[in-house]
Chains A and B, each alone.
Chain A
């Protein structure tokens, strides 16, 4: 066993003498944080199991980055308990730092370094001996598709390449938990796809990943759980399906008409089982709490009234819909 690995194992034994694998990777209880008069976090409770890919969603200023910075030991919590792998971030921040790889939403790079030197610097700063770094760094550059840029100066890399290099930096000490704050922000579609593929690879390696991103809809298939945070409160946590189920009492139906869509909205709003109704051109979307029978009856009634439906089906919802619905004030009790 290598020296850092042995040290981690010793710390893990100390933190949990029973050696239970049931211990959550992240445990947050009653977390509060203020910046002057602004209350950034208001009693956040959150548990993330080992090996989970956790998507953190919420509007700007909701408290995602603050929570992540506290987990990364960069900000002290005002109140509450924050533990990473059973270790309190206040009691032993050094041990927490050994377990985490943190990628902030905005970060700088040392432009005068070559990519390999950059990773050597952070590897050395994490206490990895040179011989180990020599072995690890080519693998990391391979993982993030930068092997052909190993001798390039950092300032010659594109934005997407710098993001990937920063991700490689997070991994240099082989952490158990990755905290990735908007890792795909500002990237073009191709760079986003590359980032998503790398994250899938990391997931398959069994890393616990906390990721906040506005490309969460694209990541939906790889996120195990999501947490929705708004105004410093975690308003929901669970799997994507659970959150969608809790958010809506029924289905979202889509009705595309050949005309008279505005008239159809007025009619639908007066119908039983129909909740909120929205219209985009000739497409009408509405919440529907009834079953299949009621749905069929509604269609018959619409046709009977002279409406000419082109399509009538259940809408495919994704994380973006969840995010938009939840942060529009239709909150659910977590």
Chain B
């Protein structure tokens, strides 16, 4: 069963360098299941209902599109559609990533993969890239719906590009959390619950905590005229919220107002823009999640040989 010798071997296909076996397998198998097509269809229906529903409401309330041009209202609609898409991404990403490793474990295919020469990083990154590729396909497929806002003006293609870059980063971050849970937890059900729990906390929990703490601080500082050296630290909490970070990109005043919230009369600007904090914190967390996944996928890790210890 010997193949051709190294000298006679034809040059390697360039695709082999870009697409490793695990990634190739993920791409092939994902598109062979009708589930992917259904997911795409329902995603487009959901975003379509939200976008056109919003358009309808705007037309009723403000007469938008009925011969009236108002860029600020068009921006509001764009932000609404962008945040709606962010919500759908939050809903889809854990579902697509929280079962990628534990699912292989449950299907009893993981051990077969782990006895090959594929490295831990190759397996984890391929799984992540393949999930993100599908999410990217979903987001790109919504482009025609997004383009409706151009009809009303007030939005530049650059801003749409920025939103898509933000989506990509958010998918990467939340996807890596999903893969970490999937690697650490043996059962997909637990991994999915943990991933959705974390997503819910970061989207809803941070906003809720911000509001509650804002009210508390407002009440506590009601008797103090000018608390020295004290600023709205709770703004940092909102920096963890993807929706708030997205809004802060398009509304420059948003970060300032959020850090000031709860403190009357404060005029100091935000110590950091919400989106900046978001990128820094989530970039670090993403790297940690990916590294932990790579470290824990295989129970047996290469151990450095002790000095002077033989192996024979």
Contacts and interface: CB of A to CB of B under 8 A. Distances in A.
Interface stretch (B73-81, B103-111, B265-273): B103-111
B312 A135 contact: no
A72, A73, A127 interface centre (most CB from chain B within 10 Å): A73
B226 to A, nearest CB: 59
Given A107-B111, A113-B29, A121-B21, A2 B5 contact: yes
A132 B4 contact: yes
B310 to A, nearest CB: 10
A188 interface: no
B299 A125 contact: no
Nearest to A86: B312
B28 A23 contact: no
A304 B27 CA distance: 82
B22 interface: yes
Interface stretch (A88-96, A249-257, A318-326): A88-96
Q: Which residue of B5, B16, B311 has the most chain A CB atoms within 10 A of its CB atom?
A: B311
B61 interface: no
A294 to B, nearest CB: 52
Contact of A125 (B5, B21, B111, B302): B21
Contact of B108 (A15, A108, A132, A134): A108
Interface stretch (B6-14, B161-169, B255-263): B6-14
Interface string A111-130: 01100010001101111111
A3 B4 CA distance: 10
Interface in A275-290: none
If over half of B's interface residues share one DSSP class (helix, strand or loop), that class is named, otherwise mixed; here it is loop
Interface string A1-22: 1110010000000011000000
B305 interface: yes
Nearest to A171: B1
A315 interface: no
Contact of A107 (B22, B32, B109, B302): B109
A75 B299 contact: yes
A100 interface: yes
B300 A131 contact: no
A125 B3 contact: no
Interface in B266-312: 298-303, 305, 311-312
Contacts of A173: 117
B9 A88 contact: no
B114 A74 contact: yes
Contacts of A134: 3
A174 B1 contact: yes
A56 interface: no
B264 interface: no
A132 B10 CA distance: 10
A140 B311 CA distance: 34
Interface centre among A1, A92, A98, A124 (most CB of B within 10 A): A124
A76 B3 contact: no
B2 interface: yes
Contact of B3 (A16, A121, A135): A135
Question: Which of B24, B109, B115: most chain A CB closer than 10 A?
Answer: B115
A2 B6 contact: yes
Contacts of B4: 131-132, 135
A106 interface: yes
Given A91-B305, A97-B116, A98-B117, A124 B21 contact: yes
Contact of A89 (B9, B10, B300): B300
A211 interface: no
Nearest to A111: B29
Contacts of B117: 94, 97-98, 125-127, 173
B116 A122 contact: yes
Interface string B100-142: 0000000111011111111000000000000000000000000
A121 B123 CA distance: 13
Contact of A109 (B109, B118, B312): B109
B29 A73 contact: no
Nearest to A107: B108
A1 B6 contact: yes
Contact of B303 (A91, A108, A135): A91
A128 B111 contact: no
B25 interface: yes
Contacts of A131: 3-4, 9-10
A242 B181 CA distance: 51
B311 A1 contact: no
Given A89-B300, A104-B108, A125 B311 contact: no
Given A90-B303, A135-B4, A169-B112, 12 more contacts: A73-B114, A73-B115, A76-B299, A83-B311, A104-B112, A108-B112, A113-B25, A113-B29, A125-B21, A126-B117, A130-B16, A174-B1
11 contacts: A72-B111, A74-B299, A91-B302, A93-B300, A102-B115, A104-B111, A108-B112, A110-B29, A113-B28, A122-B116, A131-B9
Interface of A: 1-3, 6, 15-16, 23, 69, 72-76, 83, 86-94, 97-98, 100, 102, 104, 106-110, 112-113, 117, 121-122, 124-136, 139-140, 166, 169, 171, 173-174
